[in-house]
Structure 1
Amino acid sequence: MTKKKNKTDAGSKPNRIAKKELKKLVTDLLLANPTNIYNYKQVSNKIGVSDDYTRRMVNEILYELAHDGYAEELQRGKFRAVMQNALAVGILEMNPDGSADVITDDNREIFVPDFRLNHALHGDKVQISIYRQRRRGLLEGEVVRVIERAKRNFVGTINFVGKNAFVVPDNKLMPYDIFIPKVELKDVRNGQKVIVQITDWPAREKNPNGKIVEVLGDPGVHEVEMHAILAEYELPYRFPEELDILAEKISDKITEADYRERRDFRNVPTFTIDPFDAKDFDDALSVQTLPNGNFEVGVHIADVTHYVKPNTPIDNEAIERGTSVYLVDRCVPMLPERLSNYICSLRPNEEKLCFSAVFELNENAEVLNQWFGRTVILSKRRFTYEEAQQVIETGKGDMSEQILLLHKLAQKLRAERFKKGAIAFERVEVKFDLDTKGKPLGVYFKENKESNQLIEEFMLLANRRVAEFIGMRKDGRKELPFVYRIHDKPNEEKLNAFRSFITRFGYSISGTTDKQVSKSLNQLMEKVKGRPEQNLIETLALRSMAKARYSTDNIGHYGLAFRYYTHFTSPIRRYPDMMVHRLLAHYLNNGKPKDREQIEMLCKHSTNMEIKATEAERASIKYKQVEFMQDKLGETFTGVISGVTNFGIFVELTDSQCEGLVSIRDLDDDYYRFDEEEYALVGQRTGRKFTLGDEVEVEVWRTNLAKKQLDFKLVGMAGRSNKPLKPRRSQTKSSPKKPKVASSRKGQQKAKKKEKRRKR
């Protein structure tokens, strides 16, 4: 882990350069002099290599570069770099093996080998040079420069090495340890979790330099680990004290002017339905039967923007956060607790100010009239989803008449939505039973039942109708800039790959139009329910879809099959909803069109913060899954192969959805090669195949909380004889040797002929 030096002591053997570093030196030389032609001796002299062993390695590297298309052999033993043909800008995405892909601004995917990253990191905006040679169907390139760093702060564990130290990052997509000089090592102990900031990265150094920003504490402690996850994704875990003080000064009193200016719903039966542990109730429903026999349904949303004014410290902090963050054990709110859990929360038996969408529906759940405006409500009852579900199933309980009526209407709205092409992605959520210290005692799954659907359908109705009200242009009125929640059509290539994959399970997706494809996808989701491959297929189906985001450019919402859609219903926990409330109020008062560029900038920021929050939530779940498995070493579980790579297979356990790796090194009954097209590892001698979706038996072997990793050992294939895998025979004269990689074209041809003779 210490920094390497090329100097040697007198009389000692030369310090040999690692092949990976040597390869970079050779390629750097060729790229810096693209018109020059070199043999291995000239290259060795240029990069300062003098010993015979390393010079021979330089020769090998030149032939490897020629074979891979990075260099060309013009005469025997004489090489020149392959000329670059284009420059492009894009976002770099690291791969687990140290290589990367750059998604360019024009949506091309460029493969970048690890030795051509030139200090670029995951998420960085980079400029790359693109080469003609293709690999695995992708263009290849090299990072020319880093335009903008995605992040400079990392969370990791500090390890002392002599007078200095290195921080080993938790992030698996950060492949470099960060060097910390002695001067930065105050008030920190070896092995502690820290936040470190990269200060500089010298061109010739493998590791960046950094400084300690904050000491989080000892690893394995629940609070330390949750704070570490938030810090890794650059999310706050506490509110500035001055903002809490400002929030305490906000009055919760409803004035006479408030009553006069608002529509009064205090006498209309109103209730909330939320998770059992929720404290921020930002939506309520009311329902009453009208004299004409139709039904009036009110979707009442906390009027956050009544209390939080633009350009105030609390509003600026909400912009920065963008969203509340939900980890396994906590909610990190977007707004101070006095606002989110008290003043704005629609608590039962308390008068509250709301921004409401009110609909007149007939018995077929068709909207006949609608109204948007500010209201005052009084919730009569706070239900958990479980309590509301019991009312739906038994027909008995508090406010059963209202809940059953809304349930009936919601199911009709739902049926109509799917009829028009909406897709039913309803993944099971992993939840934990935690003790007082945060230790997971058990895993359970949250299902989407009718009580969830009741709330979901009326929230979707309000969001859609608000977006339509603003977005559908009227005669003589300019288009009004607005916040839309958009979802693009799936990438055709990814969707076709998913179609191909599910055929191995006997499933298919038919149709060519959007509506036909979505109908077929819904049928697929119904078929896989309760089957071992359910979670795998649902996950891969979601990955084949585009990601939803916020934008002023409305392209519709493919997954919901809505032409217009926004987020209006959760202003306590999402900043775009606060933006929608302000814009809707402004346009209801015939205000002039707002600045589109400013709205778009906030939309992009909100999307980015939403992605970070989702990744942090997944990281906290992964951490607790690994912690849950710590006391189960040696136990055997059934699982499904959820990923296949050139370094092993990932297995997701059926009863807990915990995912771990079976390393290819531990599949010791054969030599296995990675077949990308088949998503499989295939035995070279036996032909044994491990592919996505296979059901297997695994033993829990190792747990690594710091890296959030599980390691499994394969016991056998589920449903088959689970005899232990036979160990690979030792390499003797009677056992076939694994072919060596030839160092030159001539050597490669000889190796191929030798292998053919052996097979005969």
Structure 2
Amino acid sequence: MNKEIYEVRKKIVLEFISDKNYRPMKLKEMCTMLGVPRREREELKQVLDQLISEGEAAMDDKGRYKAADEDVLTGTFIGNTKGFSFVHVEGMADDFYIAGENTKNALHGDEVVIQKIAEEKSGRRSEAVVVKVLKRANEMVVGVFEKSKNYGFVVPDNQKIARDIFIDKQNTMGAVNGHKVVVQVLDFGNSRKNPEGKVVEILGHVNDPGVDILSVVRAYHLPEQFPEDVMAQVAEIPDTVLPEEYEGRKDIRNWQTVTIDGEEAKDLDDAVTLKKRADGHYILGVHIADVTHYVREHSPLDKEALRRGTSVYLTDRVIPMIPHKLSNGICSLNAGTDRLALSCIMELDGQGTIVNHEIAKTVIHVDRRMSYTAVKQILEDKNPEVMEAYKELVPMFEMMAEAAAALRQKRKSRGGIDFDFPESKIILDKRGRAVDVKPYERNSATKIIEDFMLAANETIAEDFFWQDKPFLYRTHETPDADRIHKLTVFLKNFGYYLKLKSGEVHPKEFQKLLGKIEGTPEEAMISRLVLRAMMRAKYTTENTGHFGLAVKFYTHFTSPIRRYPDLQIHRIIKEQLDGQLTEKREEHYRKILPAVATETSQAERRADEAEREVDKMKKVEYMAGHLGEVHEGVISGITNWGMYVELPNTCEGMIRLQNMNDYYIFDENKYELRGEMDRQTFRLGQKVKIYIADADKAARTVDFYLADDVEYFQQS
């Protein structure tokens, strides 16, 4: 269904269900009324589903469609251990409060329909009730098995699933106390009855090595093994480029070419080249692995890659989007081998403006596999041994630093926001236990690659936008006005201001703010609050620009080994280059791309959440080995139940109000805690000395005391 036909049908359906004489109908009845043939029934359902997601239509508890009441909304259920819950509606700044008796039988992550019953007032959130669960997120649940005499129950790992799952004696699969298990939910229960399920897999004992991360893999439904038909297809793919595959490609094997990645990276999907002409212009080549040459559309490999959506990088393993034979082999731009690529070759002037470009199918030959560390040692440290080892490449790296600086300055001048949060690297021992957590910061080499990849992504997006071809874009919406208002109120307490125009903010204002707070105690905290005020980037078929980068055109082109959207647009680009993007093929892409955008955005979110969950778990495990130690940290968050403190290694813990030797009052306007007795005040960004008191790996929490309060609590 092309876009024009889809919009016409959407309009017809919306008018039909909005008619004053319309009564709610199920899909089959609606098809009869509208004269929709059986073969087109699924297309009508897609239109109705889209109308529901856009808030134009709703489904009642009997599965009948109707026009949406403005107080009836669709959102994601957010569970809570305290009984009450929230529902997040996409595009709305604040979540809806759901009282415990109004949750129906929804569990965390479910897609639900809610009915608003009370407006926001006096600082309280709008309140709603769950009307219907549209889509279950927890048909399988991971947790710890506890055995009773005639039955068992499972305590979910995800504490936002606040109800234990009852397991009948015949459905325990022989699990014993402390086993980590996967449960299939058979009955989601109700307000008076717990969910019921059966054990379908025993992962091992909760303390067995590797079971903790395996539990996250299962909880997020991350597929570990590739299906047999996928591996059969992979077995037929050659390990080297065949002679006939060079035909029809630009041969640039004689260009000085390098990859620059982390030391441990094995899936190298981007390589770079740079030359400088006599007129001062740079010729920058960004060469990306031609994965689609091996992952053909509709093949088992392609279907599985779309299902996975993205590679997932956990602390002790990578769950790849495509099998290792491809990701680390023929698709990886390994040094000393010929490889097929899709290249974006850009001409830059001295100010970082891209004045010309070429997109081409190429064959390349990488000269050296460089690490970020080695390039940093050349450019920043001027390490003589490293410079000697790569002496033939040093001039190109120095030119790369110049060109990247020009691109970065160009991006800065238009308002691109550059968040520089310290990342962390978690070191595990042979048993998989966390033994160290180190901050991992960007350097000149990582910034060079970032700048070059951003330039290629922007160039490709603009090229195909003006060609008016079906495409996938990476878009980032302007922040919600309510979020910006709350942020501006908060910033005033620190003496910072955001300039607004008609209630909206330009990304350059954020850039100016980040410049002002650089090096201040509150830098990390304000940076995080700015990030939270923004919308989440996603994949879309419509180009609406990227707010954070302050660009009108942006896509993801540079990582087809680990991201499906990149692989998808490579297919479109190559068909266009080969003159095969016919009207029929354009129609095909217009039909499939909306679903690809939605599915890959969801897969990205799932991967991000799983990665964060494992990192949090392993950081808590590391901190458990350092109980009783005193460290200095920075207050990273303040609430009415305590304050969070972040240590230099990026581990975070909480000092709870009940664990402080004074009665503190939380000032929500200034985000401060003020003591009643000694009048001491704690503010965001303030340095404090803490004592590591406890670490609960199951709850993912670390408890700190103020170092000065430890003696008082030990005596009491």
Q: Classify the TM-score, shorter chain.
A: 0.7 to 0.9
1:160-179 to 2 correspondence within 5 Å? 160-179=147-166
Partners of 1:227 and 1:237 within 8 A in 2: no
Q: Which residue is equivalent to 2:256?
A: 269
TM-score (structure 1 length as normaliser):
0.78
Secondary structure of the 1:261 match is coil
1:554-565 to 2 correspondence within 5 Å? 554-565=543-554
- Quick one: structure 1 residues 626 and 132, their matched pair in 2 at CA, closer, same or farther if it must change by over 3 Å? closer
Range with greater deviation from structure 2 (402-411 or 706-715): 706-715
Secondary structure of the 2:214 match is helix
- Quick one: structure 1 residues 686 and 119, their matched pair in 2 at CA, closer, same or farther if it must change by over 3 Å? farther
- Rounded Cα–Cα distance in structure 2 between residues aligned with 1:546 and 1:110: 18
Partners of 1:549 and 1:607 within 8 A in 2: yes
Per-residue deviation, 1:150: 2.4
Per-residue deviation, 1:155: 1.5
Partners of 2:523 and 2:685 within 8 A in 1: no
Structure 2: state its 5+ residue gaps.
1-68
Partners of 1:233 and 1:616 within 8 A in 2: yes
- Quick one: structure 1 residues 656 and 206, their matched pair in 2 at CA, closer, same or farther if it must change by over 3 Å? farther
Per-residue deviation, 1:438: 2.5
- Quick one: structure 1 residues 483 and 708, their matched pair in 2 at CA, closer, same or farther if it must change by over 3 Å? same
Q: 1:710 aligns with which of 695, 702, 706?
A: 702
Per-residue deviation, 1:403: 1.1
Partners of 1:120 and 1:146 within 8 A in 2: yes
Matched, 1:427 2:421: yes
Partners of 2:424 and 2:437 within 8 A in 1: yes
CA shift digits 1:21-74 (9 cap, x unpaired): xxxxxxxxxxxxxxxxxxxxxxxxxxxxxxxxxxxxxxxxxxxxxxxxxxxxxx
Partners of 1:271 and 1:284 within 8 A in 2: yes
Q: 2:477 aligns with which of 472, 483, 488?
A: 488
Structure 1: state its 5+ residue gaps.
1-83, 474-478, 717-721, 730-760
Q: 2:654 aligns with which of 644, 657, 661?
A: 661
Per-residue deviation, 1:724: 5.3
TM-score (structure 2 length as normaliser):
0.83
- Rounded Cα–Cα distance in structure 1 between residues aligned with 2:346 and 2:379: 22
Letter in 2 for 1:652: V
Per-residue deviation, 1:331: 1.8
Q: Which residue is equivalent to 1:414?
A: 408
1:696-707 to 2 correspondence within 5 Å? 696-707=688-699
1:105-184 to 2 correspondence within 5 Å? 107=92, 109-132=95-118, 134-135=120-121, 136-184=123-171
Per-residue deviation, 1:529: 4.0
Matched, 1:617 2:611: yes
Q: Which residue is equivalent to 1:194?
A: 181
Secondary structure of the 2:412 match is helix
Secondary structure of the 2:194 match is coil
Per-residue deviation, 1:130: 1.9
Letter in 1 for 2:310: T
Partners of 2:105 and 2:191 within 8 A in 1: no
Secondary structure of the 2:617 match is helix
Q: 1:93 aligns with which of 78, 93, 117?
A: 78
Per-residue deviation, 1:498: 2.3
Per-residue deviation, 1:677: 4.1
Letter in 1 for 2:84: S
1:268-667 to 2 correspondence within 5 Å? 268-290=255-277, 294-393=281-380, 394=382, 396-397=387-388, 398=390, 399-473=393-467, 479-510=468-499, 512=501, 517-588=506-577, 589=579, 590-592=581-583, 593-594=586-587, 595-646=589-640, 648-667=641-660
Partners of 1:673 and 1:684 within 8 A in 2: yes
- Rounded Cα–Cα distance in structure 2 between residues aligned with 1:723 and 1:292: 67
Per-residue deviation, 1:624: 1.4
Secondary structure of the 2:145 match is strand
Letter in 1 for 2:473: Y
Secondary structure of the 2:258 match is strand
Per-residue deviation, 1:697: 2.9
Per-residue deviation, 1:423: 0.6
- Rounded Cα–Cα distance in structure 1 between residues aligned with 2:547 and 2:263: 32
Letter in 1 for 2:100: D
Per-residue deviation, 1:96: 5.6
Secondary structure of the 1:138 match is coil
Matched, 1:258 2:245: yes
Per-residue deviation, 1:241: 5.0
- Rounded Cα–Cα distance in structure 1 between residues aligned with 2:504 and 2:712: 48
- Quick one: structure 1 residues 727 and 307, their matched pair in 2 at CA, closer, same or farther if it must change by over 3 Å? closer
- Rounded Cα–Cα distance in structure 1 between residues aligned with 2:136 and 2:449: 41
- Quick one: structure 1 residues 461 and 217, their matched pair in 2 at CA, closer, same or farther if it must change by over 3 Å? same
Range with greater deviation from structure 2 (410-419 or 154-163): 154-163
Per-residue deviation, 1:515: 11
1:3-82 to 2 correspondence within 5 Å? none
- Rounded Cα–Cα distance in structure 1 between residues aligned with 2:486 and 2:514: 17
Percent of residue pairs identical:
36
- Quick one: structure 1 residues 164 and 663, their matched pair in 2 at CA, closer, same or farther if it must change by over 3 Å? farther
Partners of 2:80 and 2:161 within 8 A in 1: no
Partners of 2:422 and 2:650 within 8 A in 1: no
Letter in 1 for 2:290: D
- Rounded Cα–Cα distance in structure 2 between residues aligned with 1:230 and 1:344: 26
- Rounded Cα–Cα distance in structure 2 between residues aligned with 1:321 and 1:510: 42
Secondary structure of the 1:416 match is helix
Secondary structure of the 1:166 match is strand
CA shift digits 1:332-391 (9 cap, x unpaired): 111000000011000000000001111223344332321112100000000000101112
- Rounded Cα–Cα distance in structure 1 between residues aligned with 2:103 and 2:675: 33
- Quick one: structure 1 residues 364 and 104, their matched pair in 2 at CA, closer, same or farther if it must change by over 3 Å? closer
- Rounded Cα–Cα distance in structure 1 between residues aligned with 2:103 and 2:636: 29
Secondary structure of the 2:707 match is strand
Per-residue deviation, 1:682: 5.5
Partners of 2:81 and 2:161 within 8 A in 1: no
Partners of 1:532 and 1:654 within 8 A in 2: no
Per-residue deviation, 1:676: 4.2
- Quick one: structure 1 residues 458 and 106, their matched pair in 2 at CA, closer, same or farther if it must change by over 3 Å? closer
- Rounded Cα–Cα distance in structure 2 between residues aligned with 1:612 and 1:461: 27
Alignment root-mean-square deviation, CA = 2.7
Secondary structure of the 1:628 match is helix
Q: Which residue is equivalent to 2:26?
A: none
Letter in 1 for 2:96: I
CA shift digits 1:507-531 (9 cap, x unpaired): 4434548997533423433444454
Letter in 2 for 1:385: Y
Letter in 1 for 2:87: V
- Rounded Cα–Cα distance in structure 2 between residues aligned with 1:294 and 1:573: 32
Partners of 1:167 and 1:179 within 8 A in 2: yes
Per-residue deviation, 1:164: 1.2
- Quick one: structure 1 residues 493 and 105, their matched pair in 2 at CA, closer, same or farther if it must change by over 3 Å? closer
- Rounded Cα–Cα distance in structure 2 between residues aligned with 1:497 and 1:95: 24
CA shift digits 1:282-324 (9 cap, x unpaired): 0001223457664322110000000011111111111011000
Moved over 6 A (4+): 513-516, 684-687, 726-729
Range with greater deviation from structure 2 (231-240 or 324-333): 231-240
Partners of 1:421 and 1:515 within 8 A in 2: no
Partners of 2:423 and 2:650 within 8 A in 1: no
Q: Which residue is equivalent to 1:243?
A: 230
- Quick one: structure 1 residues 563 and 385, their matched pair in 2 at CA, closer, same or farther if it must change by over 3 Å? same
Per-residue deviation, 1:560: 0.6
